[in-house]
Amino acid sequence: MRPEKINVQEFYNRFGWQKTPDGLFKDTVAWVDLRPLLLPYYRRVRNRAKAFFKKKGDFFLDAGSGGISYPEYLEYAQGFSKQVCVDLSMVGLKEARDKLGERGLYILGDMTLLPFRDEVFDAFACNHALYHVPADEQLQALRELYRTLKAEATGVITYTWPFSPISDWIPMKNKSRLFGLVKKIFFSKTESGPVLVEEIPPLYGHPHPPSWFRQVLDEVKIPYTMRVAQLIDPVFSRALIRENVWGRLLLGLLAFLEDWFPRWLSEKGRYPFIILKKQSTDKTDS
């Protein structure tokens, strides 16, 4: 197995799918701003993916399922006979089994070489996993996900962009005195959410830009659309979203923009949905 995959596997076996004393996955605590103010916003983000899936079917593929971090990920497959979890981490699959029991099927495997026949899945989700696949194998993973999808079925990939014009100006602006004064006036000191007391081990990831997806998916004739999933990342939220009326208003504005301009904002936020739908024709909508 390639070094990048060994790194991802060991990260999640030894750290990511281990739990804190509060019962939270360390992966979640490490990468998510878990203050209570943001939790309804996150639920709204994850629930958006439901609109793209069929309501029911036989097999739902959860590619890179890990421990199934959030209840909404279980709800995606609620109307399906089986939720098929594929992951490199045995620890993650054991956590998934604790949640799904006999409703699940559990495969220790690699999404770049899925052990399934063509057109077997009625839907798939790939939540924050594709960018942990080696950069030069991500297209192969896309082809495998598409290959195993039934005709007229839809799969949703939640990805991250390497650059976001909305989120990535925050670290620079944080150094500005004027920005600091605005924060002090409008954004009061916030309480911190759960934090880790240990160092986060290195984790391989390589997010491609939107242009890469447009190029490679057009070349291999996989129909796709892009929609915004979430405009902001934890750097943004910790800098600007505070436990007060201004924080609630800003979250409301972000949710409004995501709901009403999903296509226009698909390449401007931090996290997009990349939606594959197998059709009889290979028209590509970018």
What is the pLDDT, as a whole number, of residue 196? 77
% of the chain surpassing 90 pLDDT: 81
Give me the helix-helix angle, 210-219 and 138-147, nearest 10°: 50
**Domain assignment of residue 284, yes or no:** no
- Each residue of 195-249: pLDDT tens digit? 776 899 999 999 999 999 999 999 999 999 999 999 999 989 988 898 889 999 9
**In sequence order, what are the beta bridge partners of 226?**
274
**Domain assignment of residue 176, yes or no:** no
Q: pLDDT tier at 83 (50, 70, 90 boundaries)?
A: very high
**Domain assignment of residue 282, yes or no:** no
Question: Distances in Å between the alpha carbon of 235 and those of 56, 82, 167, 200, 247?
Answer: 37, 37, 7, 16, 14
**Domain assignment of residue 175, yes or no:** no
**Domain assignment of residue 76, yes or no:** yes
Got the DSSP string for 214-276?
HHHHHHTT--EEEEEEES--HHHHHHH--SSHHHHHHHHHHHHHHHH-TTTTTTTSSEEEEEE
- pTM equals 0.91
**Domain assignment of residue 185, yes or no:** no
**Domain assignment of residue 54, yes or no:** yes
Q: What is the CATH number of the domain that holds 131?
A: 3.40.50.150
What is the pLDDT, as a whole number, of residue 180? 52
What is the pLDDT, as a whole number, of residue 283? 44
Give me the helix-helix angle, 245-260 and 39-48, nearest 10°: 0
Section 97-111 average pLDDT: 97
Q: How many domains does the chain have?
A: 1
Whether residue 77 is predicted with pLDDT greater than 50 in this model: the reply is: yes
CA angle in degrees (0–180, nearest 5) for 17-198-189: 105
- 128/8 Cα distance (integer angstroms): 13
What is the pLDDT, as a whole number, of residue 279? 82
Q: Using DSSP bridges, classify how beta strands 149-158 and 80-87 pair: parallel, antiparallel or unpaired.
A: unpaired
Q: Are 8 and 203 in contact (CB under 8 A)?
A: yes
Domain range for 155 is 3-169+190-277
- 109/178 Cα distance (integer angstroms): 51
**Domain assignment of residue 174, yes or no:** no
- 133/131 Cα distance (integer angstroms): 5
What is the pLDDT, as a whole number, of residue 64? 98
